[in-house]
Amino acid sequence: MTSWLRTYDSACLCLLLCCLVVAFSGESFSAGDSVCRSPGITSCTDCLSRGPQCAWCFEEGFLDGAGLSQRCDLPVNLLRRGCALEFMEQSEVKVEVNATISSTQVSPRDISITLRPGSAASFIVSVKQLERYPVDLYYLVDVSASMQENLDQLKTVGVALSLRMTEHSSDLWLGFGSFVDKPVSPYINVHPSKIHNPCSDFEIRCRPAHGFHHVLSMTSNMSEFTRVIKRQRISGNMDTPEGGLDAMLQAAVCQRAVGWRPEAKRLLLLMTDQPSHLALDSRLAGIVVPHDGLCHLEDNVYKGSTRMDHPSLGQLSDKLLENHIYSIFAVEKQQYQWYEELIHLLPGSYLGKLGLFQAPNLIDLVVDAYKRLLSEVVVSVSVEDKAVSRYWVSVTPLCPDGSTAAEHSCTGVQPDQTVYFNITIGQHSCPDDGKDEDVTVMVRPVGYNESTVVRIRSKCQCTCGPAGQCRDANASPCKQTQNGNNQEERPNYGMMKDSDSNKNCKADGSDVVCSGRGVCECGKCVCEQSRLGAVYGKYCELDDFSCPYEGGLLCGSRGVCVLGECVCEDGWTGDSCNCPVSTATCQSSNGLLCSGRGKCVCGKCVCDDPQHSGDFCERCPACQSTCQSYWTCVGCHLSHGLTQEEAGQCNHTCAPLVGYMDDMSGQAGETWIHCMYISNDSCRNSYRFQTSSKSGQAQLLISTRPDCVSSSLRLVRTFLSVCALTVLCGLVVVAVSRLLLQKRRWSPGGTVEDAGYHCTGKDLSYIPTTNEKTVTYRRDHPPDHPVEMHIQVPKMPLGDPWQ
């Protein structure tokens, strides 16, 4: 590391670069073995290209006899298999910051990153807007004949604009340049009389057509600016579009001629009433050479106009960003739509629509554009063209109001506010030759004269320690020199039991070559590849799949098989890695381990007493029916008066912990068992008590108040309550029955429903509606003339009140 690299102990860097920690290189290893392990991996480079989480073990003798693909795995798995960390080649991602370069607006200015394919790194770039900037404003004006009146309006702009900009800028400088179009056919009339004076037909003296003419360098002398404007004359051309974009590029890249100040905000104002030519339009004039993006001014006149094509929008955008220039388009409303689509491709651009090119309108346009462009902070990230396809970039801005903008910009930024950009750069792949490469990435805040340079060191090859031996050569185990040349000897696959080479491939006391799981090549076992896993060892006697299975998975998929035993991941143990180390699964609701009645074994509670059961030893049906087992203890304490002084007399018959309480209601809970001590001698000797095995020890609480009187009162209250409830229920039944009976007897009109009324003696249908009675009155005198009277008494309707 060079001397200019510092540690991150300064307060400023801690604030701005707190996110320099690698964002993606530390991905979780939970992706699984399938990410790194593949039979097709035969080298360290192949292994690391699988992803940033993979590592290659270059330790000599690691899994001796196994295939090369077994050297590629997750670092944690290689470590369990016996590969030390110093023998692992891993994807290393570094972010280093140059803290020596001072900055007032953009920080940091220089960053170095080390990446591998599949990895990525993140860093923070801060952009601070200052209170007042010096401003350079360059007027680039279309001087074709249609702009004559608009050109006259510029004569009074200089002084008025300078006074107006004093509210926003500490120092305003102005410059001026003009353009028309490329001075070649068919853009202009090439008749000799028209070349030097395009307006000869109108008896007006015009200046010749030109691609770009730099007239006035940046100056703070407003009188000089006004004098130069007054001397300008119009020109003319043939077609409608003008060469505005061609002139803009020259004004941007010819910094020395234009006089752009390094510390100033740079504004390039294009004034025109027509659209502009684009790239490839010059083919009409036979110009096919692409623009080189360089300055071609000679005597302040653009000499490359007739040799090179118009620049592309992408090329113009890059040059504006590279030279920290904001672009402002002042166009008439007829051309507004054409330029509206254009500015979306030019970062840091502003479009103003003017009905008339009058001085007040131009001043308002410049001021509004300056305020708008300054309040929006945008960054542009560009990768070298040679490597742009191998890298990806992500930008997330954090605005002063705390919001995260969707685009690469924040709006409404005020002076002295800072915008932070979280930038992530990742690498897809290596160059075609597979070698390491250095790539430069530029982070440019649009319109700022400061930028951040990111230097990427892409590591595509493995170093494999100081010796540089990666153990990934696919060579035969033995070679011999014949005729001065190294030639590979053909391996012997036969079962030559008596040959010396085969004897070296047999374990002591065994007649089987390479344990029957490999072949002997030049006295060394080359183990076969199994679909179950790796076979390795000097005699192919070892493998990584002869371990206990749990749930159909080797080592329960929570460890690796090493020498026939499971090496479990952190947090697991057991022969098949099936037992969690944590006892959280044995924690009962009361916070005790197995309710204080057992031990946690392999993540499950094993109760100390067979009477207890349940997942947390919380149930004990037999315990709740053994209250009488404590009667002897309770009786002993009662006989000694329930005093602490005499409690020691009962230690031989009682639980270790015995206490006395006046009120037993306060000890209600799942862990306490409620019991009653009843004496046959006297009602006064009945007492309540409670038992518990909390914390693994038996506890006993005895009430100091007899429970007989309270029990009698409860019985009386219970008896009276039952009687009252019985009477109440009877009254309710009688009332409901009577209501139902009346409802069935009476119809809605108030008459008796014959069909619903049943008589026990006679049927109501035979009851006459009237009663006929014959009453005979006899008189004694004269006896031979009796008197008879017939009386009909109507039947009173059933239900009518008696009157």
Quick one: 324 and 442 in the same domain? no
Q: How far apart are the first and last CA of the chain?
A: 127
Residue 503 lies in a domain: no
Exposure letters 765-774 (e unless 16+ CB within 10 A, then b): eeeeeeeeee
Quick one: 292 and 361 in the same domain? yes
Judged against a pLDDT cut of 50, whether residue 476 lies above it is answered with no
Among 334, 353, 375, give the residue marking a domain's end.
375
Give the residue from 712, 31, 554, 135 showing the smallest Cα distance to 370: 135
Judged against a pLDDT cut of 60, whether residue 499 lies above it is answered with no
Distance CA 316, CA 696 (A): 82
* C-alpha distance from residue 277 to each of 151, 310, 504, 750 (Å): 21, 7, 82, 105
HEC letters along 281-301: HHHHHCCCCCCCCCCCEECCE
Side chain identity at residue 210, one-letter code: H
Q: Which domain holds residue 676?
A: 630-662+672-705
pLDDT score at 10: 38
Least confident segment among 270-284, 335-349, 497-511: 497-511
Distance CA 123, CA 233 (A): 53
Q: Give kind and range of the element (H or E) at residue 364.
A: helix 359-375
Among 347, 375, 403, give the residue marking a domain's end.
375
Q: Could you read off the pLDDT of 62-106 as tens digits, one per residue?
A: 877 777 888 888 888 888 888 888 889 888 888 999 888 878 899
Quick one: 109 and 172 in the same domain? no
Quick one: 400 and 308 in the same domain? no
pLDDT score at 291: 95
Residue 803 lies in a domain: no
Quick one: 341 and 202 in the same domain? yes
Residue 368 lies in a domain: yes
pLDDT score at 212: 96
Question: Best-predicted range by mean pLDDT among 581-590, 744-753, 781-790?
Answer: 581-590
Distance CA 253, CA 320 (A): 8
Phi/psi at 442 (5° precision)? -105, 130
Instruction: Locate 183 and state its tokens.
Output: 């001075």
Return the CATH number at 54: 3.30.1680.10
Residue 696 lies in a domain: yes
Return the CATH number at 393: 2.60.40.1510
Judged against a pLDDT cut of 90, whether residue 280 lies above it is answered with yes
Residue 337 lies in a domain: yes
Among 90, 117, 150, give the residue marking a domain's end.
90
**How many residues belong to the chain?**
803
Quick one: 400 and 349 in the same domain? no
Q: Which of left, alpha, beta for 364 (phi over 0: left; psi -120 to 50: alpha)? A: alpha
Residue 567 lies in a domain: no
Least confident segment among 2-6, 595-599, 660-664: 2-6
Quick one: 77 and 150 in the same domain? no
Q: What value does the mean pLDDT take over residues 191-200?
A: 81
Quick one: 116 and 48 in the same domain? no
Quick one: 308 and 293 in the same domain? yes
CB contact set of 518 (below 8 Å; sequence gap of 6+): 65, 505, 525, 526, 527, 528, 535, 540
Domain count along the chain: 5
Distance CA 618, CA 608 (A): 12
Distance CA 478, CA 336 (A): 79
Instruction: Locate 216 and state its tokens.
Output: 């006035």
Counting DSSP H helices and E strands in the chain, the numbers are 16, 41
Higher-pLDDT residue of 172 and 538 is 172
Residue 227 lies in a domain: yes
Q: Give kind and range of the element (H or E) at residue 327.
A: strand 325-332
Could you give the percent of the chain with pLDDT greater than 90? 29
Distance CA 540, CA 71 (A): 16
pLDDT score at 650: 79
Quick one: 231 and 328 in the same domain? yes
The structure's pTM equals 0.57
Give the residue from 653, 464, 591, 422 showing the smallest Cα distance to 62: 464
Cβ contact 643:692 at 8 Å:
no
Cβ contact 413:375 at 8 Å:
yes
Residue 559 lies in a domain: no
Judged against a pLDDT cut of 80, whether residue 574 lies above it is answered with yes
Higher-pLDDT residue of 524 and 381 is 381
Quick one: 126 and 148 in the same domain? no
Residue with tokens 């800072």: 418
Bridging pattern class, strands 524-527 and 535-536: unpaired
Judged against a pLDDT cut of 60, whether residue 148 lies above it is answered with yes
Quick one: 364 and 393 in the same domain? no
